[in-house]
Amino acid sequence: MTKNRLLRVAKLTLVGLVVLFTTSNTLVGCAGGNAPLARIFGGFPHIRPAEDPVAARSLEEFRSVYAAYAATDSSRAQQLRHFTDAYLRVRADYVQRIDDVQLIAAAVDGIKKIDGRPGAIPSSDVTEAALDSLMASLDPHSSYLNPEEFKDSQVATRGEFGGLGIEINMENGFVKVIAPIEDTPAFHAGLKAGDLITHVDGQSIEGMSLVEAVKLLRGPANTDVRLTIQRESGADETTLFDVTITRAVIQIKPVKWRLEGNIGVIRITSFIQRADDELEDALRALRRQSRDRLQGLVIDLRNNPGGLLNQSVAIADAFLNRGDIVSVRDRDGEGRSFTATPGDLSNGLPVVVLINRGSASASEIVAGALQDHHRAMIMGVRSFGKGSVQTITPLQWDGALRLTTALYYLPSGRSIQGGGVAPDIAITGDAQEDGRREADLPHALQVDQGLQARANAKVRESNCPTAGEKNDDRMLGCAVAYLQDGSHDKFLARFGTQTKL
């Protein structure tokens, strides 16, 4: 029975910043003269100098700096309106209330870092630098998308785009890999979650903005790029090595499946459009190949960086009959809840969900919802901890804002932001060492986590049997063994686990 898919959230997305994206802006100058601030900043109607003198002084500083750096050209007025539109949206819709002085100071700082002779810099470049800096000051996931990037973001959610195939953020001046996307050039080159990219084609990216670094990473399909990777190799030890990757037009297949005996394994690589339909196709194929003798299902969300909110809700809904899946709340506590509809597409089969620190965003919604409803056993490593919602909103002239506008909460009321989802059974070992997560990123949103769940059992990865296409995946082996044993206690006794950590 196919569930009714009514969940088409127009602008809410949880899409990670992939290498094909840049996060730049286009901004321009102010009108000069002694016109009142309210007239110069005609697009700031909510900021009146008499009512908010601190904001007025901040805007006056911005006007002065902008006028000093921007060349006089034909686009100044339009670009100022463009900046104004973006500024007001941030001020009104960002997930936390931000001081005007802080926002304008970030924009001014961006202008002052531009290379070039003040007064001769194209006004669009000045505006771009100001808005890039303003957005970067908010959190790791908010950014400005210029028209090209906005187009790329729409293509990416449909599953086809050009690039390397990694989700990234900036950390300590370098590009950090959050997760490689399966079956992409970056994945096949062996990049791992937590890797730092320090050089691109021999050029250091230290101190660059994310926009500048991404521009180096991008390029035509079928061209090579040489990355220098810094990887943690042990306690306080790192290794440095080069890897050459061939850029490609990436077509993501969001769902893959295989049989391990009578256990169905469904690998969800990304929550892009049609992932829910492909999940249904996978379930039908598994039933057919197993001759309707499926004993259980493994839903593998490892290194899945997220995707569309409506897809995560639909996939969680596939295994639930009722109850909340996730709620989305803005800074005033307002929002909406997404609930399950009747009909379990797996007909009640036992489910194990695999997660690791590369499981983020939409993956955490699915794992957390199934955990809270006791519908699945969660196994693996604590997830990344990205519990914020990004709304991609087109601006009036060009491009769009990718703005953090809300946080999502699991059925139990807990937030994923920063803390992630803890597995019920933790898989431990050298290959599963904890790495850096959302909470470690610069400007990461701080949320009161309350009482967080902890794993109540653990298994050393070396104790797990092997499974998978290459018969080398021990975490998957433990998930398959858990379902084959048919008993929680039997599995724990068999693999020498320690309970009540």
Active site residues: 361, 372, 386
8 Å CB contact between 132 and 211: yes
| SS (HEC) of 450-501 | CCCCCCCEEEEHHHCCCCCCCCCCHHHHHHHHHHHHCCHHHHHHHCCCEECC
CA distance 197 to 362: 25
Contact 76, 130 (CB under 8 A): no
Q: Do strands 174-180 and 166-171 pair parallel, antiparallel, or not at all (unpaired)?
A: antiparallel
Beta strand segments in 62-210, E: 143-145, 160-163, 166-171, 174-180, 196-200, 203-204
The H helix count followed by the E strand count for the chain is: 13, 23
Q: What is the 8-class DSSP label of residue 278?
A: H
Q: What whole-number distance in Å separates Cα of residue 224 and Cα of residue 303?
A: 24
Looking up tokens 């669009």, which residue turns up? 124
The residue among 124, 23, 128 whose CA lies nearest residue 77 is 124
Which position has the token pair 């057919």? 288
CA dihedral 464, 466, 469, 475 (to 10 degrees): 10
Cβ atoms within 10 Å, residue 429: 16
Q: E strands within 311-443?
A: 324-329, 335-339, 351-355, 377-380, 388-394, 400-409, 425-428
Kindly report the three-state secondary structure assignment for every residue of 52-73: CHHHHHHHHHHHHHHHHHECCC
How buried is residue 203: exposed, middle or buried, by Cβ count under 10 Å (0-12/13-18/19+)? exposed
Any alpha helices (H) in 344-385, and if so which ranges? 362-372
| Burial of 212 from C-beta contacts in 10 A (0-12 / 13-18 / 19+) | middle
